[in-house]
Every structure is written in structure tokens, then in C-alpha cells.
Amino acid sequence: MHKIGIRYEDKYVMERRVALVPDHVRYLADKGLEFEVVRSAKRIFKDKEFENAGATLVDEVSDSTVVLGVKEMPIDFFKDEHTYIFFSHTIKGQSYNMPLLKQMIMKKVNLIEYERIVNEKNQRLIFFGRFAGLAGMINSLWSAGQRWKSMGIDTPFTKITQTHHYDSLEDAKKAISLVAEEIKKVGLPEGISPIVTGFTGYGNVSKGAQEIYDLLPVTEITPEELVNGVADTNENNSMFYKVVFKESDLSEPIDEGKEFDLQEYYNSPELFKSQFEQYIPHLTILMNCMYWDDKYPIIVTKDYLNKLYTFGNPKLLVIGDVTCDPDGSIECTHKGTEIEDPVFVYNPETGKPTMGFDGEGILVMAVDILPSELPREASQTFSDALVGFIPEIAATNFDVSFEDLKLPQPIKSALILHKGELTPDYLYLEKHI
């Protein structure tokens, strides 16, 4: 039986999440599992809570052969032939993490990737996505208020603060509901109404973002209604509109006259081109909430933003890039930002970003660890999904062949490396290493 280690999160100053919460450590310790937990002053659950749950507090993982983390682990952290479970951000062949993957190969480790723990329908079972959407939308409404303020426009949104300042999700929702009530009574300043927010995608991230936005007095319209000017004419007197974009709204076949086929889009994205630009002039806030990799068309290009600004001051105020792929689907997101420095203004004319709320251009909120702004609720939900797999992982003999591994299928499907070798589903990563 493997001892389980829970490491200290050190990639970001304000990373406060944990993969397994104290209550679940106690539940597993009562079943005979042993835990060592690295001390952390910033973790949302205190060291004493883990100690009271039966874990041994340590300054560094020493005896554990299975180690749990959340974000990437330092390149010099790995021990030969141990098992590591974390978000490695390697499955797209991300160039910035290929040295990390190479090191794990050299150390002959077993790597289990949370992002690939899926069921038979390829649906993720363990994720922080909803909390990324929740925090992303709260931050984007706060950002809109601050951006308008920098432009000399006072709005009730200045009463919203960045997500991590709230003690709980419930407190954040109460604050936004109060803003909604104020807007219903006194309206919005002339020139910014109606506020139109678009959401790319319809999964857990997008649903989380919409959960917050729907606290406002919102009318939902279709992408077709958006381009036909429903929100521009404001016929039904709504101050807030919501538009959800699916794959068929974002892209179209390069072959004109051909109908969009979703499976073909997934299988052969090179046969498609973006058609999203038609919607951008109508949006106040764009929430980018969908999975993307560089096989797919870019949603918002730098060239398009330059054209948009050439024709005057556009409606688009804020991009909440929850997806947060550097130089990716939102091309002007040059990097993921940190909680303590969360936004920048991208100037389409110069192609340069300026951190903060001031400057010419479009404000981008691209915090890379959004769920850590709601660390307690995010950790609890994540741990709820993970805890059931831990006993079998702890009991697994990783020295046998990959075929003979007795792991739950969702965990086996997430095993990128076995004894330092890429497993069959991940051999495609060889070309990236």
C-alpha cells in the first residue's frame, strides 16, 4: 500500500487550493491509508486540520510514493519511479512544459493527469471548470466597472470586487445581486446600455460564468438575433443580453456551401475557418469559456482587433479569457495573469499590453488559476470527485506492465507516463518532446 503525499503549491503566490480536503483524508485514514502533508501557511485548509484528520505534517514529501498536487510541480521535484497526480498541462504538447515531461520520463515516473480522468463517453470526471467560470465572470464584471471608471463613467459595478476578496461564493453572489437590484431601480449610465455578453462554449466553465451573469436582469438572445441588431435596437428594453456561442457559430467550412458537421469539425478542424468576427462589434463583454488548441481557428485575432479600432471606438470593453491559452484562441492574451495582477489593456494599434485598467484598447482578464479565487468551495468539489479513486491508486502495483495495471479505467486513461514511458494514448506527444 502506497503512502500518499500532499504537496505544497508553489507555482503561484496565491494558489490556495488542495486536491484532497481534510475530511477526506480522515475518511481514508480510517480505512488504513497513510498521509503526509507538506506544511503550508497559505493553503485554504490549515495544517492543523490535516493533522487532526490523521495526516503527518512534514516540511517536504519524503516517504510517499504517490504524490498529489494541483498545478505543475517543480522540474527538480520528482523522485525515481514515484507516482505523481496533478495538472501537468502537457497533453496539447505545450512547449513550455515539455522540459517538465522530459524530466519525468528521465525519472521513470508514473504521471496521472487530472484533465484526462474521463468516463466511457470521454467526459471529464474531476475538474475545477465551474469555479473557473464563476470567478471569471465575477472578475470580468469587476473589471468592467473599473474600466468604465478609468474612462470617467461611474457604474454600480464598482461595488463588485475581485473574487478572492469575498469570503465565499455566497457572499460574491449577494454582492452582485445587490448591484442587480440597484440597476433595476436606477438604470445604467447613458451610452453603455444595453450590456451584451457573449459566452463561447456551453460546458462547465461557461455554465459557471452564466450562473453569475444570470444574477443580473438578463435577456437571452441567439447569435442570429445578435447580428440582426436585436440588442442594438433594445426593443424589449433589456439592459443586459446574453448570447451563447456553439462551435457552429464560431467556425464554418472553408468549402463554401457545405453544411457544418460537428464531428468533422472535431476530426478535421483544418477544413474550417472562423466566422466569429461578425459578432464581436455587438458585444460589450466576451467570456471565452471553451476548450481550444491550435488545431482550431483562432476566435479573436490581433489583426481583427486592429481593424475594429481603425473604425473608431468599439463597443467591446472587456474580454474575460477564462480559457487562457497564451497566444491562443484570444490571440492578444500573451500570457496568463496572476491573481495579484489580473488584468491588462491590449492596444490593437501598437500590439502591446499594459498591465492594469488604464490605456488605449481592450481590457483582458486572463487569470491562470481562477478557481483559486474560490479556494474552499473549489477544493471541496474537486476532492469529492477524487476521493473515491484514492484507495485503488494507493493499492496499485505500478511495477507490472501497463496492460496488467489494476487501476480504475478512468485513472488508467489518464496515465500519460508509466515507468517513464508514454502510454499508448499519449504516444503522439513524442513529436513534441
Residue 318: which CATH number? 3.40.50.720
> Are 184 and 284 members of one domain?
yes
pLDDT of 237 strictly over 60 = no
> Are 210 and 318 members of one domain?
yes
pLDDT of 13 strictly over 80 = yes
Q: Is residue 55 part of a domain?
A: yes
Residues 91-101: tens digit of each pLDDT: 999 999 999 99
Q: Please give the grid coordinates belonging to residue 130.
A: 465551474
Q: Is residue 120 part of a domain?
A: no
Nearest in space to 417 (alpha carbons), one of 88, 97, 3: 88
Which pLDDT does position 159 carry in this prediction? 97
Which residues share a beta bridge with 112? 85, 415
> Are 83 and 136 members of one domain?
no
Which residues share a beta bridge with 85? 68, 112
Which pLDDT does position 235 carry in this prediction? 47
Residue at grid coordinates 472553408: 254
> Are 87 and 168 members of one domain?
no
Tally of structural domains, the chain = 2
Last residue of a domain, one of 353, 373, 393: 373
Mean pLDDT (whole number) for 123-147: 96
Q: Is residue 360 part of a domain?
A: yes
- Model confidence band, residue 229 (pLDDT cutoffs 50, 70, 90): confident
Q: What is the average pLDDT score of the chain?
A: 95
> Are 281 and 338 members of one domain?
yes
> Are 44 and 95 members of one domain?
yes
Q: Is residue 71 part of a domain?
A: yes
Q: How far apart are alpha carbons 252 and 136 in whole angstroms?
A: 28
Residues 357-397: tens digit of each pLDDT: 999 999 999 999 999 999 999 999 999 999 999 999 999 99
Mean pLDDT (whole number) for 171-185: 96
Q: What is the pTM of this model?
A: 0.89
> Are 361 and 299 members of one domain?
yes
> Are 68 and 158 members of one domain?
no
> Are 380 and 349 members of one domain?
no
Residues 307-326: tens digit of each pLDDT: 998 877 799 999 999 999 89
Q: How far apart are alpha carbons 185 and 193 in whole angstroms?
A: 14
Nearest in space to 37 (alpha carbons), one of 21, 50, 24: 50
How are the residues of the chain apportioned to helix, strand and coil, as percentages rounded to the nearest 5?
A: 35, 20, 45
> Are 246 and 364 members of one domain?
yes
- One-character DSSP codes across 343-408: EEEEETTTTEEEESS-SSSEEEE-BTTGGGGSHHHHHHHHHHHHGGGHHHHHH--TTS-TTT----
The angle subtended at Cα 425 by Cα 290 and Cα 412, nearest 5°, is 90
Last residue of a domain, one of 373, 399, 414: 373
% of the chain at pLDDT higher than 90: 91
Q: Are strands 415-418 and 110-113 parallel, antiparallel or unpaired?
A: antiparallel
Residue at grid coordinates 443586459: 240
Q: Is residue 252 part of a domain?
A: yes
Please check whether residue 34 is in contact with residue 24, taking contact to mean a CB–CB distance below 8 angstroms: no
Q: Is residue 22 part of a domain?
A: yes
Q: Is residue 433 part of a domain?
A: no
pLDDT of 217 strictly over 90 = yes
pLDDT of 19 strictly over 50 = yes
> In the chain, how many H helices and how many E strands?
14, 18
Q: Is residue 295 part of a domain?
A: yes
Give the structural domain span for 11: 4-108+376-422
Which pLDDT does position 234 carry in this prediction? 53
> Are 385 and 368 members of one domain?
no
Q: How far apart are alpha carbons 234 and 323 in whole angstroms?
A: 30
> Are 354 and 400 members of one domain?
no
Residues 330-354: tens digit of each pLDDT: 999 999 999 999 999 999 999 999 9
Q: Cα-flanking dihedrals φ and ψ of residue 364, to 5°?
A: -120, 125
Q: Cα-flanking dihedrals φ and ψ of residue 260, to 5°?
A: -70, 130
Last residue of a domain, one of 336, 354, 373: 373
Which pLDDT does position 238 carry in this prediction? 73
% of the chain at pLDDT higher than 70: 99
